[in-house]
Amino acid sequence: MKTNLKTFKVLLLGIILIALMEGVSAQTGVNDTESSNVTVTVSAVTMIDVAPASFSYTADPGEACGVYLSGGLCNETVENYYALQVENIGSWNITRVWFNVSQPTQSPFAVGNNSFVDPGNFVQLTWNDTSNDWFYVDRKEFPEAKTIVYLRDPDGSMPANLTKYNYGRFRNASREYFYMLKDTTGDACVVGEMTWIRVGTRPRTQDEIGSTDFSAPKEAVDWHQINLTALTTYAVGNISVGPLTGYVVAVQDATCNVRFSKWNKDFPFDGANNANYSFNGVLTPGDSLAKRIGVLIDYGIYTGTKTGYLTAIAEGAV
């Protein structure tokens, strides 16, 4: 085919003209840019989110529930949650986290119903989501309502003299440790006069009677003594020996109720020179921490479904 040279030249010229026009348009057109400042001041706010929002368990008396606490032996929550997450959704650093739990107002034992059962009293946590250092958040125990005929008091009397001594048990699902109280005047549980609490070294189980002799010759064999310091309405002490090592113990004035805490720094535990923070460091905004969670169901708890509460408290700082 013979090429039309004239036509080719005309097309080429047209392409060049179009390219030149586009270049001129880009340089001399109406395009322009200008910026506006957008300034946002974020308030200094401490905020946390705790998830999941609920845990539920079905258990027999004496049973442990929680994926890692029970080793899968208990009917866990439907979703099989094994830990809770505390996230810093605020705008500045969180430096400390601790926990509170709901507690029974009176002993739930030997009452014939579940009115006074509070599952908050069953909750245990660990330091993080990989550890196995299980402790109650704040376990509340009540004096024994009836005489335990096989307990020997510090004077050697069996059963123990209830006009001079007061006793109860630290319940830990299928293991229970007896404890005994006395003050300097012989009147049970008067703050300022309570000087010690003795805690058994061996647990009572379905197969073993545990530590029951709180007389002097049995020190370190059947019991350890924790000295108490008087506050306003509690006498407190740090447990650094025996099976309850790591807890702060607090005995309430007049009622003789005893609390054992690891993850609660609020009064009266802040008076024991042991802050009991569950987290102590720097948790930046958007970061989170996790704790394994489980519950230990007491022997002698009346059947039924009850709801308790676990509350996380955070302290923020710049």
Placement of tokens 């545990």 in the chain: 210
pLDDT at 28: 62
- The string of DSSP codes covering 264-275 is --STTGGGGT--
Closest alpha carbon to 296 in 179, 126, 136, 169: 136
pLDDT at 17: 45
Residues 48/89, Cβ–Cβ less than 8 Å = yes
List of residues 6+ apart from 303 with CB closer than 8 A: 114
In a domain, 101, yes or no: yes
- The answer to whether the peptide bond before residue 52 is cis (omega within 30 degrees of 0) is yes
In a domain, 10, yes or no: no
In a domain, 85, yes or no: yes
Instruction: Note down pLDDT in tens along the chain; length 318 residues.
Output: 445 555 545 454 454 445 545 555 555 667 889 999 999 999 999 999 999 999 989 889 999 998 898 876 676 666 778 899 999 999 999 999 999 999 999 999 999 999 999 999 999 999 999 999 999 999 999 999 889 999 999 999 999 988 888 999 999 999 999 999 987 777 778 998 889 999 999 999 999 999 999 999 999 999 999 999 999 999 999 999 999 999 999 999 999 999 999 999 999 999 888 778 999 999 999 999 999 999 999 999 999 999 999 999 999 986
94 DSSP β-pair partners: 283, 316
DSSP E strands, 102-208:
123-125, 135-136, 138-141, 166-172, 175-183, 194-200
Structure tokens at 96: 């400390």
**Strand 258-261 vs strand 279-283: parallel, antiparallel, or unpaired?**
unpaired
Closest alpha carbon to 307 in 318, 316, 295: 295
In a domain, 219, yes or no: yes
Query: Cα(266)–Cα(278) distance, rounded to whole angstroms?
Result: 12
Q: pTM for this one?
A: 0.87
In a domain, 95, yes or no: yes
**Strand 138-141 vs strand 229-230: parallel, antiparallel, or unpaired?**
unpaired
Into how many domains does the chain fold? 1
In a domain, 179, yes or no: yes
Full residue range of the structural domain in which residue 70 is found: 48-317
